[in-house]
Amino acid sequence: MATKSSIGIDVKPPEKPCEDDKCAWHGRLPVRGRVFEGVVRSTKPRNTAIVGWDYHRFITKYERYERKKSRVTAYNPPCMHAKEGDNVVIAECRPLSKTKTFVVVQRKGAEAETVKARKGKKRS
What is the CATH number for 35? 2.40.50.1000
In a domain, 15, yes or no: no
In a domain, 61, yes or no: yes
Question: What is the tally of structural domains in the chain?
Answer: 1
Decide: helix, strand or coil at residue 118: helix
Phi-psi region of 55 (alpha: psi -120 to 50; beta: other; left: phi over 0): beta
pLDDT in tens, 24-36: 999 999 999 999 9
In a domain, 19, yes or no: no
Decide: helix, strand or coil at residue 110: strand
In a domain, 91, yes or no: yes
pLDDT in tens, 98-114: 999 999 999 987 765 55
Question: Going by DSSP bridges, is the β-strand pair 31-42/48-59 parallel, antiparallel, or unpaired?
Answer: antiparallel
In a domain, 39, yes or no: yes
DSSP letter at 14 equals P
In a domain, 50, yes or no: yes
Report pTM.
Answer: 0.81
Give the H/E segment covering residue 53: strand 48-59
Does pLDDT of 117 surpass 60? no
Q: Amino acid identity, residue 114?
A: T
How deeply is 93 buried, as exposed, middle or buried, from its count of CB atoms within 10 A (0-12, 13-18, 19+)?
A: buried
Does pLDDT of 45 surpass 80? yes
In a domain, 14, yes or no: no
In a domain, 121, yes or no: no
Domain range for 54 is 31-112
